Structure formats: structure tokens, C-alpha cells
Amino acid sequence: MAKKTHDMTGKVCLITGATSGIGKATAKGLAAAGAIVVMVCRDAARGEAARKEVAAASPVEAVSLLQADLASFDSIRGLAEEFQLGYNKLDVLINNAATIASERRETVDGIESQFAVNHLAYFLLTNLLLDRLKASAPARVVNVASIAHRGVSLDLDDLENKKEYKSFRAYGQTKLANVLFSYELARRLQGTGVTANCLHPGIVRSNIVRDMMAPISFGAKFFGFLMLSPDKGAATTIHCATAPELEETTGKYFVRSAIAPSSKESHNEKLAKRLWEISAGMVGL
């Protein structure tokens, strides 16, 4: 949990990937600060166990659960609809869920799984909830990206890596997409009172990091002690979601709760605009 979490009493926060790791730790931190926390999970049983754990940290016990498969556009649309039926405002949207796949596979919509879950789910859910965010302004969108966005580029003609699939490179490309999306979203939201920022949480002992390092399990065990706990990994997300001084800060990339430079490629506005257009077409917006 972040050392300094600002009062969030009455603030509605929606968090994807909240069953474990950084997402659950983020939910705990926000719940402890008095927020009304809505956790999104894929598995109902695991989600309910996590919800109870998070609720125990909440002084107001305002923690609920919504089930959705972020690898399905229909499921994401259902999630957005269910949320809006249940809540009349949205103060903070945290896009946190991510996956990594050692082999290329496609979702029910025929999209490469990492690109679908790690980028298009962020893009679609955010756009579906934009009106609610604007009506709740000042509001925030916080996208959990990664330092893995560095050292990769996007081929707009092969965003799904059909020509050649390399797991970690594909992951890095989705994280670059997160940063590009955050910056373009911030530009489009100027003057609305809704901010959009992204972050690198650190190298955290989480399911996704274990999946990444599975081929080098010895290395994972050897370097595991250098990784952050989920609570420490959630600190930057919580800072971006709660810090009063960031109310008007938008279009930034954060590391260790401070603004940091992102890759040169992430600042390519032409690329960001084209990625937005292509993404909108892929999700049917």
C-alpha cells in the first residue's frame, strides 16, 4: 500500500484486473482511503475472495465486484453497461488488467490476445465510460503501462504480430500502445476536467512477471528478492489516482510516483492518432 494515500471518501473507483497482484493492492489502498471501490474480475470465485479481502481494509465497506472477460468486446460492453446502471458517477478509472502469452493465440473476436487485453480493452472500456467520467469531472483515467514500452516500435500494418510473434516483444508493444493511448486521450480530453496519465509500476512479484520469467525460472528465483511487493508496486497507481496536486496534470508518464520521460516513440503524435483510428475500427466504435 502507498505510504501516503489521500482521502477518497465518496469517490467511485473502477479497477480492472483487481483479483490479484497490483490490482488487488491498488483496490486495498483506495478502499482504505474511503473510496467506493468497484473491482473487475474474470473469475467469480477468485473475485469474491479478493473482494472480501479488500473490503476488510475499507472503513466504509463499500467494495463491490463486477465480472467481465476483458478478452471479449461483448463482455467489456456488458461491463460498461452494468457499471453505469449501478453507479451514477465515476471519479477514477484504473485500467490495470494485463496478460502475457508465450504463444500467439486469438480471442473470441479473432484478435491476438495480448493486443486485445492489454490495449484494446483499455481503449474500449475507457471510451464507453467517457461520458460518465466527463459528467463526474474532475475525474481521472489511470493506465498501468510498463517500462517494457521502451525499445519497441509499432507496425500499424501488423499490430497483431501475424508475421512473427515473440511474446515479450508483443507485450512491450502493447505497453507502448498504452502510453500512446494515454497521451492521445489526454489531448482529446483537454478542457473536460478529465485527466489521463500512465505509469510504470516497477518490477513487481505478480502473476504476469512469473509468466514472463517462466522460461528462466532459475533467474526468476534468483532475482525475485529484487522485485517489489504488489503493495509497493501499487504505490504509483494510487498516487496517480489520489494525489490532489495531480488534479490538472494530464498526458504524463509516472515512475516511482513522479513524472518521468517515456520513450521517443511514445511521443509520436501521428502514430498515436493512427493507432486510435485503427483501434476504434477494431472494437467497433
* DSSP codes joined into one string, 26-68: HHHHHHHTT-EEEEEESSHHHHHHHHHHHHTT-SS--EEEEE-
Query: What is the percentage of the chain residues whose pLDDT exceeds 70?
Result: 89
210, pLDDT greater than 70: no
- Asked if residue 109 belongs to a domain, the reply is yes
Tell me, yes or no, whether 223 lies in a domain: yes
218 has pLDDT over 90: no
Asked, for residue 4, whether it belongs to a domain, the answer is no
pLDDT for position 61: 81
User: What pLDDT shows up at residue 262?
Assistant: 98
Residue 223: pLDDT band with limits 50, 70, 90: very low
With a cut of 70, say whether residue 225 has pLDDT above it: no
Tell me, yes or no, whether 238 lies in a domain.
Answer: yes
Looking at residue 146, the DSSP 8-state letter turns out to be -
Q: Give domain status of residue 2, yes or no.
A: no
For the chain, the average pLDDT equals 91
Q: Is 13 helix (H, G, I), strand (E, B) or coil?
A: strand
CATH number for position 57: 3.40.50.720
Q: How confident is the model at residue 202 (pLDDT cuts 50, 70, 90)?
A: confident
The pLDDT, as a whole number, for residue 60 is: 85
- Confidence (pLDDT) at 232: 77
Residues noted as catalytic: 171
Residue that has been written with the C-alpha cell 511474446 in this structure: 167
Which residue segment(s) compose the domain that 184 sits in? 12-283
Res 233: pLDDT: 82
Residue-wise pLDDT for 132-176, tens only, equals 999 999 999 999 999 999 999 999 999 999 999 999 999 999 999
Q: Can you tell me the distance from the alpha carbon of 268 to that of 246, in angstroms, rounded to the nearest whole number?
A: 24
Residue 5 lies in a domain: no
Burial 160-178 (b: 16+ CB within 10 A, else e): bbeeebebeebbbbbbbbb
With respect to residue 6, please indicate whether it lies within any of the assigned structural domains.
no
Does a structural domain hold residue 110?
yes
Number of domains in the chain: 1
Q: Which secondary structure element, helix H or strand E, spans residue 199, and what is its range? A: strand 194-200
